[in-house]
Amino acid sequence: MAASSICRHFSTLPRPPSFSPHPTPLRSFLLYKHKNASPATSIRCSLRRPDYIPHQISDPKYVRVFDTTLRDGEQSPGATMTTKEKLDIARQLARLGVDIIEAGFPASSEADFEAVKLIAIEVGNNVDSDHVPVICGLSRCNKRDIDKAWEAVKFAQRPRIHTFIATSEIHMKYKLKMTPDEVIAKATSMVAYARSLGCDDVEFSPEDAGRSDREFLYQILGEVIKAGATTLNIPDTVGYNLPAEFGQLIADIKANTPGIENVIISTHCQNDLGLSTANTLAGANAGARQVEVTINGIGERAGNASLEEVVMALKCRGEQVLDGLYTGINTKHITMASKMVEEYSGLRIQPHKAIVGANAFAHESGIHQDGMLKHKNTYEIISPEDIGLLRSNESGIVLGKLSGRHALKAKMLELGYGIDGKELDDLFARFKDIAGNKKIITDDDLIALVSDEVFQPQVVWKVEDVQVTCGSLGLSTATVKLIDVNGNEQIACSVGTGPVDAAYKAVDHIVKVPVTLLEYSMNAVTEGIDAIATTRVLIRGEDSVTATHALTGDKVNRAFSGTGAAMDIVISSVRAYIGALNKMIGFRDRVENLDPSESKVLQTSETK
C-alpha cells in the first residue's frame, strides 16, 4: 500500500494504539472501547503516515504535528518540569503520534540541555515503536545556541535544529538593533552553519512574522531556503492576526517566496486574542503543512494553539471543509497526555476548555439531556471515546470502603490510568483511608488521589504527620514530621497567622531551603463538606535555578509548582508545599551534580 494511502472510516473503527517498550512510571494506556459511537461524521485518517522527508511530504493532504509543550509550553510561569517529567511527556507525545517534538531550548541551561539530550536518546531512537518522532531543539541565530542544540539532538534518529530571528520592524529596531540587511545576513549564515554541522533538517522562524513587512518576509525566507532551511515556520508571535489575515499571510508567502515549493510551511500561533486555533486552521487551509501546538494550549502569556483543538477540528471537519486535511495523531491518547501535562506543569485546565475540559462532555440542561438520551449526536459532535475518555460507571464498578485492590485497579483502568505495583499499593492505602471517612468515592476523588500519589516529583522529603492547633483564642501552632530520602524522621513546631502558615514555617525549619510562596490556591474536588481538597502552590527559591529566556535573552528565575490532595485542607496544603520543594531541590541537585565542565549555566548570547 502506498505511503499516502488514506481511508474513510467511522468512529467505531479506532486505529490501534502505538506501542512503546519504554513505559512511563505510570504505565498508562487508554481504553479503546467505543460504546454508542455514531457514524454520523465521516473522518479521514491515514493507514500509514507518509515516510518522513524533511523538506517534503508525499501526501499533499497530510499535516505534520509539531508539539512544543516541552519548550514553549514550559515557558508558562511556574510550569517548570523535571527531566523525568519531560521524558514521561515526550514518551506520551510519541505514543500520541506527534511528528516532531520540540524538546526544549538546550542553550537555556545545562538542565534543559540534559533533558533534550535524554529525550533524543530515549524517545528519538525508539525503533521498536511503529513511530519514531523527530526530536527538535530551539536556538537563536548564533553559533553558541546552534552548537548546543546540535549537541543535544544529534543522538536522535531524526534530529532537527530550529533557529529563529525577529523580522518585524519593531523587533529589529528596538530589540535586535539591527538593519534588515544585517538580519538577512545573520539568518542565512546561521541556517547554513546548522546544515554544516551535519543536520539535514533545519527549521527557520522569522519571529513576529505576523507584523513583518511582506516583501521583507519573501526576501529573507527565499534566502534561508537557499541556505538550506527545510521548514519555514511563520509565527504569529504576539497573537495579533485575525484568521483571514493569517490565512492570507500563508497564501502570500506560498505564492511569492522563491523556492517555497522545496520546503514545508509551518504555523505557530499564540493565543493573545483567543484566536490561535482558528489562525492555525486558517494557515493549514492556505497551504501550511506543519502546525506548531502544545498540549492544553499552554505557553507564554495566553498560551499557544492547542494540539487537541487543532487535531480534533481537522478530524471532525477536515473532510468536509478543509479539503481532506488529516494528521497522524492517535486521538485515543489525548486525554492521558492532557492529564499528564496538567499535573506535571501544575497548570490547571478551566472546566470549559474545549475537548479536554471537565465540562466538555457534560450535559446538565433538561433539553440537552433529553436530546442526548434520544441520540448522542444531537449535542455531541465528538464522542468522548474518540479522545480516550470513558463515561463514568460504564463498567458498573462502584467503589467503597470494602472494595479491594482488583476493583480499584479496574476502576483506574476505566479512567485511563494503568497503575500497578508499588504505585497501586500506595494509591490503595490512600483510597482506603479516604473510603473510611467518605461514603461515596467519585471518579474525581480518585483522579485527585492519583495526582497526589503518582504525578509527584522524586521524593526528597515525605510528609509523615501534621498536627495543628488554631482558632480565635490564640496563635495557630503546627507540628510537622517529615521523612528524608534516607528514612530519617525530623520534627519541627512553629506558630503562624493561621494553620497553613504555621505548618509551612515548620516545614521550612526542617528543609532549610529559603523560598518565596508566589501562589496558593485550593479547590474542593466534589460537592459536600466531606469533599477532598486539592491544593496548588507556586514557589521560587531565594537562590533559585536560572535559565535564559529563548525570545528575550533575559535571565529568568524558575518557579516550581506542587499539588496535594487530602480531606484535611492543612494536610493537602503541606503535601502541595512539599511537592514543590521536592521538585525544586531535585532540579537544583541535578544541575549541581552535572560534570563540572558543563555545570555552568550559559550566559546570554548576543544576537549579533
Q: What is the pLDDT of residues 52-80, one digit of tens each?
A: 999 999 999 999 999 999 999 988 877 88
Q: What's the pLDDT score for residue 444?
A: 79
Q: Give the Cα separation of 154 and 458 in Å (integer).
A: 28
Considering only 23-32, 61-70, 137-146, 319-328, which range has the smallest mean pLDDT? 23-32
pLDDT of residue 130 exceeding 80: no
More confident residue, 447 or 484: 484
Instruction: Tell me the mean pLDDT in the region 33-37.
Output: 34
pTM of the shown model: 0.79
Q: Which of 232-236, 454-458, 530-534 has the highest mean pLDDT?
A: 232-236
Considering only 103-107, 319-323, 588-592, which range has the smallest mean pLDDT? 588-592
Q: What's the pLDDT score for residue 9?
A: 34
pLDDT of residue 469 exceeding 90: yes
What pLDDT digit, counting tens, does each position of 508-563 carry? 999 999 999 999 999 888 777 888 889 999 999 887 677 777 777 777 788 899 99
Please say whether the beta carbons of 140 and 163 come within 8 A. Answer: yes
More confident residue, 143 or 375: 143
Q: What's the pLDDT score for residue 312?
A: 96
Domains of the chain are: 59-345 (3.20.20.70), 406-608 (3.30.160.270)
Q: What's the pLDDT score for residue 398?
A: 65
Please say whether the beta carbons of 414 and 388 come within 8 A. Answer: no
What pLDDT digit, counting tens, does each position of 144-171 carry? 999 999 999 999 999 999 999 999 999 9
| Residue 128: exposure state from Cβ atoms within 10 A (0-12, 13-18, ≥19) | exposed
pLDDT of residue 22 exceeding 50: no
Q: What's the pLDDT score for residue 371?
A: 58
**Measuring CA to CA, how many Å separate 152 from each of 88, 92, 596?**
18, 20, 18
What pLDDT digit, counting tens, does each position of 357-414 carry? 878 876 544 554 455 555 566 767 888 888 887 655 554 566 777 788 888 888 887 7
Non-local (6+) Cβ contacts of 585 within 8 A are 460, 461, 511, 513
> Which of the four pLDDT bands, split at 50, 70 and 90, describes residue 346?
confident
**Measuring CA to CA, how many Å separate 259 from each of 160, 215, 255, 553, 596?**
20, 15, 10, 32, 46
Considering only 24-38, 174-188, 248-262, which range has the smallest mean pLDDT? 24-38
Q: What's the pLDDT score for residue 473?
A: 83
Please say whether the beta carbons of 446 and 412 come within 8 A. Answer: yes
Q: What's the pLDDT score for residue 437?
A: 79
> Which of the four pLDDT bands, split at 50, 70 and 90, describes residue 433?
confident
* Mean pLDDT over each residue of the chain, to the nearest integer: 84
In which region does residue 501 sit, left (phi positive, over 0), alpha (psi from -120 to 50) or beta (all else)?
alpha
> For cell 471517612, what's the residue?
437
pLDDT of residue 572 exceeding 90: yes
Phi then psi for residue 133, to 5 deg, are -75, 160
pLDDT of residue 224 exceeding 70: yes
Please say whether the beta carbons of 524 and 533 come within 8 A. Answer: yes
Instruction: Tell me the mean pLDDT in the region 271-284.
Output: 98
Q: Give one DSSP letter per residue of 131-161, joined into a string.
A: ---EEEEEEESSHHHHHHHHHHHTTSSSEEE
**Residue 187 bridge partners (DSSP):** none
> For cell 471537519, what's the residue?
317
More confident residue, 416 or 603: 416
More confident residue, 590 or 435: 435
Q: What's the pLDDT score for residue 20?
A: 35
List the beta strands (DSSP E) in 413-567: 461-469, 476-484, 489-496, 515-524, 533-541, 546-548, 555-557, 560-566
Q: What's the pLDDT score for residue 19?
A: 31
Q: What's the pLDDT score for residue 604?
A: 33
> Which of the four pLDDT bands, split at 50, 70 and 90, describes residue 421?
confident
Q: To the nearest 10°, the Cα dihedral for 32, 33, 39, 45?
A: 10
Q: Give the Cα separation of 602 and 106 in Å (integer).
A: 10
Please say whether the beta carbons of 423 and 456 come within 8 A. Answer: no
> Which of the four pLDDT bands, split at 50, 70 and 90, describes residue 11?
very low
Q: Give the Cα separation of 315 and 310 in Å (integer).
A: 9
In which region does residue 198 sit, left (phi positive, over 0), alpha (psi from -120 to 50) or beta (all else)?
left
Phi then psi for residue 491, to 5 deg, are -125, 140
| Number of Cα atoms under 13 Å in the Cβ half of residue 186 | 24
More confident residue, 138 or 40: 138
Q: What's the pLDDT score for residue 531?
A: 86
Q: To the nearest 10°, the Cα dihedral for 591, 592, 595, 600?
A: 70
Instruction: Tell me the mean pLDDT in the region 69-95.
Output: 90
